[in-house]
Amino acid sequence: MATCRVGFITTSACPVQKERRLRERRVRLVPPRASTNSNNNGPTNKFSMDRRDVLLGLGGAAATAATVMTPGGIILPAMAAPFAPPDLTKCHTASTGSPPGMDKCCPPYSMVDIVDYDFPRTALRVRRPAHEVKNDKAYMAKYTEAVRKMKELPKDHPWNFYQQALVHCAYCNGAFDQAGYPGVLLQVHYSWHFLPWHRYYVHFFERILGKLINDDTFTLPYWNFDVKEGMTIPEIFTSDPNSPLYNEKRNIAHYHPELLDYRYAYSCAPTCSNKTGDELVQANMSYIQTTFKNSLQLPELFMGDPLRAGEPDSRQGSGGLEGIHNGLHQFVGPAEGDHTDMGNFATAARDCVFYSLHANVDRLWHLYRNFRGNRVEFDEPDWLDSSYIFYDENERVVRVKVKDCLTPTKLRYTYEEVPIPWMGSLKVQKTKETERKQELNLVTISEFGTQPRELGTAPLRVMVTRPKTNRKKKEKDAHVELIQINDIQVASTGPARFDVFIAAPYGDLAGPDFGEFAGSFVKLPHKAKKDEGVAKHKGKKTSLKLGLTALLEDIEVEHAEKLVVTIVPAGGDVTLGSIEIKLVKADSPRLIG
């Protein structure tokens, strides 16, 4: 059998090449260009080189503007509002979302010198899929040994496994205020910080593990949950209860061979998608494909909304990738109680699965960038100059910026190329309705109205007017059509979820079929601050945005003036403020079509 070289790994076949040959080019996505060249310091793509120049140019401009010093010691242009690292001396009890006894997330150091991260110059490390490494005995021995050592470190050592997990709790459950904004909690979920922060977090965790076993080629395996072989909780984490990779606090009913359901929610378990076997695999892949296809033109749909310094994490919406990831957290964590460990952010990183889940989330972001020709997602200093701090493998507290993590090779890792079956070969799942239009049971449905509406247990169906029909290619290049659900409030502190479906109406009537799946709102349990109470927590509003341009073409309803929007609740006490379909200026022209 032919061999092919992928980074440092020589595999026995070139799956990705075969995949490319076989791929039905129904959707023309720019093929991913995951770097496989070990000496390369970034994508060789011409476009990305140009972006790099732009980034350098930005840095220059910032340096000449009036500056201010943040408490984290960062010099910022006076008008800019990128996130600054927290003031370590002001760490407090994490009171949002932590289950009892889990609210002490402060790092074991406070008065330290923070230095700029000295980016590694080590050889490129290649992350491999978890379902593949399970048969690599030598690798598994190293990985297990590294985690064992990490768990055995003194409890207050910053490298200690559980200390590392607390870093996640600190940044998610409100152990810090934003630097310079007392009372505004620091939060790295639900916004454009989600992907870069977690990229760095996994990076440092991985390098510490490598250091513990003296191996500067060590990588974490990624949970390749977007291919069939990866659609179970990886067996490396479940097969041996005595392994350091094991965690007791999980939903063991979901262990291999139970298939992952992206639409899993506690309230509809075990059959949220109502599918099993290959149909479920197909539905999951279709979910991922929809998420990509409908967000390529507007990164906030994929990555989350902007969140600038001083802003609370209240109104912004998460990106589509974060939503999928939330569902996986819930799938792993126990279905009861406070869902610790994986089902609750305060404790999620106490489970090794966490880092592999995030490695794949990171890989999907990497693919997303590649599909977009490595175009920068948010070309503004408020994102690019945002900085975080971490404890590195040289035992220093280091400062890193978003703009320095956009290319994994700068962090000296990449991903082994594997087939991407959801990329181009999926058929749109045509609904029953579009197959047989004749014998329909049509029902009248109304518009959303001006008052907030509570989601009960039955689906909510409303008619929503589109701003424009039959849009031309040029218009689609310039503006993204999206559905926006505003002022989503979750009254309880538990998990919540709903799924959104889109169909064309028949005049003012709706057919029985909900139509095409557009995306989901997924919230992990998050307890209100003690002094905040549930009522006030309910005041916190968020939004959900889902791209529709490609989806409407797929189901051939470009002509429709109105759409039937069906919201299928799957748990939680949820109120919606309003629903609108609108056109938003695209960040880039269409990349598929």
β-strand pairing of 443-444 with 562-569:
unpaired
According to CB under 6 A, which one of 128, 131, 142, 189 is a site residue for ligand C2O?
189
Active site residue 329: yes
Whether residue 341 is preceded by a cis peptide bond, meaning omega within 30 degrees of 0, is yes
Among candidate residues 214, 446, 190, 233, the one with its CA nearest the CA of residue 319 = 190
Which of 193, 358, 366, 479 is the catalytic position? 358
Which of 329, 339, 526, 537 is the catalytic position? 329
Nearer to ligand C2O, 125 or 358 (CB): 358
Nearer to ligand C2O, 345 or 413 (CB): 345
Active site residue 168: yes
Interaction of residue 207 with ligand C2O, rule CB under 6 A:
no
Active site residue 345: yes
* Binding to ligand C2O, residues 309-348 (CB under 6 A): 325, 329, 345, 348
Interaction of residue 168 with ligand C2O, rule CB under 6 A:
yes
Nearer to ligand C2O, 324 or 480 (CB): 324
User: Which residues, in sequence order, are CB contacts of 336 under 8 Å at separation 6+?
Assistant: none
Phi, psi of 481 (to 5 degrees): -90, 130
Q: 258: helix, coil or strand?
A: coil
Nearer to ligand C2O, 166 or 555 (CB): 166
Pair 121, 404: CB distance under 8 Å: no
Chain-centre distance for alpha carbon 576: 23
- Give the max Cα distance, the chain: 72
DSSP string, 463-524: EEE-S-SS--HHHHHHEEEEEEEEEEEE-SSS-EEEEEEEE--BTTEE-SS--EEEEEEEE-
According to CB under 6 A, which one of 80, 146, 167, 172 is a site residue for ligand C2O?
172
User: Which residues, in sequence order, are CB contacts of 287 under 8 Å at separation 6+?
Assistant: 262, 263, 324, 517
Nearer to ligand C2O, 353 or 560 (CB): 353
Chain-centre distance for alpha carbon 50: 27
Interaction of residue 102 with ligand C2O, rule CB under 6 A:
no
Interaction of residue 254 with ligand C2O, rule CB under 6 A:
no
Interaction of residue 526 with ligand C2O, rule CB under 6 A:
no
How many residues form the binding site for ligand C2O (CB under 6 A)? 9
Q: In angstroms, give the least distance from the CB of 342 to ligand C2O.
A: 8
Measured between alpha carbons, how far is residue 566 from residues 40, 153, 563, 589 in Å?
A: 48, 51, 10, 29
Interaction of residue 401 with ligand C2O, rule CB under 6 A:
no
Q: In angstroms, give the least distance from the CB of 314 to ligand C2O.
A: 18
Which of 131, 198, 339, 526 is the catalytic position? 198
Nearer to ligand C2O, 324 or 463 (CB): 324
User: How far is the C-alpha of 531 from the C-alpha of 286, rounded, in Å?
Assistant: 43
Q: In angstroms, give the least distance from the CB of 112 to ligand C2O.
A: 23
What does the binding site for ligand C2O look like in residue numbers (CB under 6 A)? 168, 172, 189, 198, 325, 329, 345, 348, 358
Catalytic positions, written as ranges: 168, 189, 198, 325, 329, 345, 358
